[in-house]
Structure 1
């Protein structure tokens, strides 16, 4: 196994030595491919592939590892996935998003003087979803044991050299971390010194987390000894996390720190295996998760853009950027008002929202200049119904939390921008047998409340709910309801076979980056690595899903290399511009080369994302 990994890594380094049209070389693989947000995470996937695991097994190992590394998520966060099953030729959706705990109501938060649920602390936490999501993925579609898949993460929990990015994030947020006793114990090993967080490269130990993972493995092994099947044994570990002593400590530790979790909240939560939503874009079937995510906004944008000859406009011309921005505004304002948990009433009007006829009507609203007044449309007639919330649409503009909409985004240190692009990570895996996995896990990022002595950092996803029905009657907080999240893995099929598996981190910019990556490949003939590094734009017309849920209509982020004449034309169209050196977003993707029966991998130069292939 070690020899295989060494050969693979040497191959990558040799590729990097040659002249490239991209800053990173494309990945090429024949047997498997593993890509995620951190190099060590990708290595964990490669280790599992080298042991004979399939793409599901490898993706679970990567998920466990990046959670342990606090790659803008933790074990108490949420996991969303799309899977291509080569046996059934179908795309499957995994919903492992936690829900609001008992007592989490609109009145509860309003009585505390809040306009939205909080960004941080125990009251920001939905129930843990990632452990259940990982174990469901593994049990239903994997081949290895939980013990084998968790081994890399458990070794890391015993101690791994922490990266500068994470270590510095801990140091920068230590004032908040000190408010939570169990977080302080884990994150600040040098309490009282000038630097209280770990140093870059220091061995970071998480004993409580290791013990929690060990309990899951012990439960699986005991079930196997008792004659249970592989699948039953994994679900025995699942039950211990959500119904046994681990759940009891999560509830105790969360409530001690001001949270609302009950034992019943964890017992009653379940992972959902769902049917994804999809649209056809010029013969390519594009799949996204349901409207409890922002994913359908990408599908809506594709339907709108299908009404324009965007190829003839030219990549990143002023006409293309303007049309793209307006299409995003139209799709995402629908997201802001209509999307929510489909398990609760009212039901989002997804049939109308995803209809080609509705998109054609929305496309007619795109004018020669930016329209800062774009708001949600009325999709109900396109599914043969009457909109029950027309009165709220009229009130919505007054309820919006626009904060200085005439002031453009100021740059990477702008608190609005940091909130808008709040991170996560992404995982991509594929194997020679045809399994494909696209995951966007998140939640429990630093600074996180750790739930008692479990080592499990809790999600902060409650902040994505709203408390005012004028903003979104479908996404009002209530117990056992899932918030509408930004997390959004993607998959596309062509001629009934996998074409592209892709995901990205970055909060509300996720589906903006994913939309542009898809168009870069389909409309502008880029390779997957070129598309991963290409200069994207970011639109701030929609509401942020975090913090104060602000919006800055007309503000746009452009790459610093955008030429002067394009800037001048966009200014005439009413855009307020800011510029960054890298605007691709940390995209990860796998493109399927059916002509040569191989994989092409793309991993952006934006952050620390990394891939390994064989």
Structure 2
């Protein structure tokens, strides 16, 4: 008996000094692949990527096929939306950025919308549209980094345009937004497959056909074929199709259909727009280089947050302890306050203070502002100009800056539902990687249901103009101006370790994107989760930042937690005492899609959240 007791005591002592081992069952299995990995927002979209891989395409080819397929499926985006991507090039060992975000059209000025009594550009309709970026982004990526023809990578999308069984999510969205769609004749014709019936939208599983879109895609493919027949190279032929879209008959019909319905986009707007290849911004977190697109999206907020969190011992706090949640919430709020004041299109003056924002010293100064006993409902932007050359040109606006907190009297159940929908505004994500070493992370969006279709192109126009502000007091870097890109929420991510791909990851969900990606990254790096555990793990969301959609309002102190946190008798009461207003949902992870590169075993692990309809295939 004495020996047994000693053995038990020794076992308990050993367990007390060993790090906690997570043995969490996941609802979905991790994906495994040696040759390639294709993950996106819908099973049919992932299948399109797998088809291209099986035909010998590389990760760029597969990503373009998934982009075309998901756009055709209205997977919370369409062909008239915007595409932003990070690509790891194994031949150079570099990460590059792709900027295919549309711009504000001619005539889109603050005065134009203010004269209509609007505080922001509208949420839906032709006046919400920036120029389409996804067609150009797809063709640019394919021409520069792919190996296949446009005809080959668009084949799945074209087959779907001929008719595919529509998913319940898209079909039910059409029915939900029938009143909005009713306003636009070309949208009615496409979406209302049962006019005059009680349900005008397609039924889930119904074969949904898009003849005008198919005609547009066929024009692109025919242009490529003609160019090849005339002796053009693969790249030249793809760019010939690009020119037909932005400068030819497709452009003319797009503009006609847009303007007929009250939109502002001109032929010159389309002809002058172009895809930009950029150098991404980056920071190093404990030996891991994390890459993001720069200030025309919200991506740098994650890098700012990592710079701050590097000064804290997160692991000792414990995963999702009250102290950990408080730390993450406060750091995110400071990062997003900077986003709300300093982020905008870097191709328009004034120049964003990105060097100061990503300064490690700036991060240290911000961490010192945290009140560890209570939430600060009045977090303001900092002054990154103290950590880079130059003076802050908007110091007076900064001193007067206030968040647009919502009036409590307006918070009816209907308002809450709309705010939540706007805040979590969906998109899709695309993750692709191959054995050669190409890695692609894409967060395309725009033109989601209810979309206003531009004439006989079959293309739903973007709604991204609503992310501009009309008043410099809200964000002097993101004031609407013709030719300018709105500061978007879309944020693909790639991380390298020891100079090699470590994780490729992205998530849909509007202003929650970099909140969820930050926690996913920490789940893997700080808490040793597998990629599938990390994409399913419980995240928190802050609403103490300006909504990028709708009325751009802010809800100080509101905190979203996953339902199972209620089971802990200490966390919720502690957070409430600190001034948090708690909300709960059954899933709070994203949905996140990711690829982890297992260099020790020469394989890839794919992760896709148990939240939503995201899906992946590996081989």
Give the conservation status (yes or no) of the 8 Å contact 2:24–2:533.
no
Counterpart position of 1:484: 487
* Aligned mate of 2:187, from 171, 177, 183: 183
The whole-number CA distance in structure 2 between the counterparts of 1:409 and 1:284 is 44
Contact 1:100–1:127 (CA under 8 A) maintained in structure 2? yes
- Deviation, 1:387, is 1.1
**Count of aligned pairs between the two proteins:** 594
Q: Spell out the pairing of 1:131-280 with structure 2 (5 A cutoff).
A: 131-280=135-284
- Could you report, residue by residue, the CA deviation over 1:428-447 in whole angstroms, capped at 9, with x for unpaired residues? 00000000000000000000
Q: Is the 8 A contact 1:410 1:578 kept in 2?
A: no
2:512 to 506, 509, 513: 509
Identify the residue that residue 551 of structure 1 maps to in structure 2: 554
Q: Equivalents in 1 of 2:258, 2:313: separation in Å?
A: 53
The residue aligned with 1:604 is 609
Alpha-carbon distance in 1 for matches of 2:529, 2:446 = 32
Aligned to 2:594: 589
Residue in 2 that maps onto 1:518: 521
How much has 1:411 moved relative to structure 2? Answer: 11
What pairs up with 1:406-421 in 2 under 5 angstroms? 414-421=417-424
1:564 match: secondary structure: coil
Query: 1:402 Cα shift?
Result: 1.5
Q: Is 1:94 paired with 2:82? A: no
CA distance in 2, matches of 1:200, 1:386: 57
In the alignment, structure 1 residue 451 sits paired with structure 2 residue 450: no
1:71 equivalent to 2:75? Answer yes
Of structures 1 and 2, the larger Rg is shown by 2
In the aligned structure 1, how far is the partner of 2:32 from the partner of 2:605?
5
State the alpha-carbon separation in 2 of the partners of residues 289 and 118 from structure 1. Answer: 26
1:51 and 1:408 mapped to 2: Cα distance?
53
Task: Indicate conservation of the 8 Å contact 1:411/1:417, yes or no.
Answer: no
1:359 equivalent to 2:342? Answer no
- Aligned twin of 2:107: 103
> Does residue 547 of structure 2 align to residue 536 of structure 1?
no
Match of 1:85 in 2: 89
One of 392, 405, 416 as aligned partner of 2:397: 392
For residues 485-516 of structure 1, the C-alpha deviation after alignment (integer angstroms, 9 at most, x for no partner) is: 00000000000000000000000000000000
1:423 partnered with 2:426 = yes
Residue 169 of structure 1 aligns to a residue whose secondary structure is helix
| Aligned counterpart, 2:12 | none
- Local SS of the residue matching 1:94: strand
Deviation readout 1:59-80 (Å, 9 max, x if unpaired)? 0000000000000000000000
Cα displacement (A) at 1:405: 6.1
Correspondence 1:575 to 2:549: no
How many angstroms does 1:39 deviate by? 0.1
Query: 1:51-62 alignment to 2 at 5 Å?
Result: 51-62=55-66
Partner of 1:4 in structure 2? none
Structure 1 position 47 matched with structure 2 position 60: no
Match of 2:297 in 1: 293
Residue 417 of structure 1, CA deviation: 1.1
Partner Cα separation in structure 1 for residue 276 and residue 254 of structure 2:
22
State the Cα deviation string for residues 116-144 of structure 1 (Å, max 9, x = none). Answer: 01101100000000000000000000000
Misfit runs of 4+, over 4 Å: 405-413
1:152-172 Cα offsets, whole Å, 9 max, x none, are: 000000000001111000000
Partner of 1:125: 129
Report the counterpart of residue 3 of structure 2 in structure 1.
none
Residue 437 (structure 1) aligns with: 440
Which one of 505, 513, 527 corresponds to residue 530 of structure 2? 527
Q: 1:396: Cα distance to partner?
A: 2.0
TM (norm. structure 1) is 0.95
In 2, the alpha carbon distance for the partners of 1:408 and 1:86 equals 51
1:31 is the counterpart of 2:35: yes
Q: Offset at 1:362?
A: 0.3
With normalisation by structure 2, the TM-score equals 0.95
Q: For the Cα contact (< 8 Å) 2:468–2:486, is it kept in 1?
A: yes
Question: Aligned equivalents of 1:409 and 1:525: distance in 2?
Answer: 42
Indicate the SS of the match to 2:494: strand
Residue deviations 1:449-471, cap 9 Å, x none?
00000000000000000001001
Aligned: 1:613 with 2:613: no
